[in-house]
Amino acid sequence: MATDTVQPKNKIHPHKFTLWVGIGSIVMMFAGLTSAYVVKRSQANWQSFEIPQAFWYSTIVILLSSLTIHLSAKAFKERMMARYRKLLTITLVLGALFVVTQYIGFSDLWRNGFTLQSSVSYSFLYVIVGLHGLHVVGGVIALVVMSLKAFSNKQRNYSIVPVELIATYWHFVDILWIYLLLFLIAIR
């Protein structure tokens, strides 16, 4: 007599699935923008530009924030809640600092006459880097919500899912920034 055993299925949490679908959409959007950048670059009125120094500082900041969110998630898994809250707060501050350094970079460009209207190349730079900045701002807002929950006196929910979601998203915007920076350096 043969017996069939039921194997448990490895299902992905619905929120994680939704996040991955969103990440896929964002990747496609930036792939389209960078492809259009490459095509437009061959036009006669294309102007080369230097990457603002502030963008390099923002790269260091976002790399550090990726480390702190990783350590924060690790602390949460180990139930080291004081460390989790501290590292989450540091990530939040670094995320905000990334946005500030990006703003400084754009301000430098603007002061030097590199406006949206001055060249199609600058328009692409503003759109591509600006859209990434908006995605980072969304991550910073999520970090604010996570921090408020982490410091709340209400009943604690020790579900790792929200922590993994924000960590995955944050690593994604970090990797996306590195890609965009390298792309802009190589193609400018």
Measured torsion, CA atoms of residues 125, 128, 134, 139, in degrees rounded to the nearest 10:
-120
User: Mean pLDDT in runs of 10 for the chain (188 residues)?
Assistant: 60 90 95 91 78 93 97 95 96 97 90 74 86 95 93 79 95 96 86
Are residues 178 and 140 in contact, defined by beta-carbon separation less than 8 angstroms? no
Q: Which CATH superfamily is domain 50-187 in?
A: Cytochrome c oxidase, subunit III, four-helix bundle (1.20.120.80)
Domain ranges of the chain: 50-187
Distance CA 75, CA 120 (A): 46
- Residue 46: the pLDDT is 75
The terminus-to-terminus CA distance of the chain in angstroms comes to: 70
- Residue 116: the pLDDT is 65
